[in-house]
Structure 1
C-alpha cells in the first residue's frame, strides 16, 4: 500500500501490509504520516469506510 502523488506519479509513503492482514489496518498509520490539508484523496473501494472518511476529513482533506 502506498500514497502516490498523481501529478508526478511519485510514491511518497509506501507501507508494508502484514501477512494474513489487509489494507484496512494499514490505512490510518499511512495517512498519519501525511499532511492531508487541502488535498483531494483517492482510494480503492476497500477504503470506503466511515472511519477512514472521518480520519481524512478531520485532517482537512477535500
Structure 2
C-alpha cells in the first residue's frame, strides 16, 4: 500500500462527500421546481456511486 495512493483515494472520498453535502444543503435551503430537484437528487446519487467506488479502492489498498 502506497501512502500516496491512499492519500489520493482519501482526497477523492472527501471530494465526493463534499459534493453530496452541497447537494443536500441546496435541496434543504431553496425552492426548486420538480425537474431541478430531480437533477440535484440524481447528482447526489451519482456522487454516492462514485463514493462507493472510491471506498472500495481504499479498502483494497489497505488490504494490500
The TM-score normalised by the length of structure 1 is 0.27
Structure with bigger helix share is 2
The TM-score normalised by the length of structure 2 is 0.27
**Larger C-alpha radius of gyration, 1 or 2?**
2
Larger RCO (CA within 8 A; separation ≥ 6) = 2
Structure with bigger strand share is 1
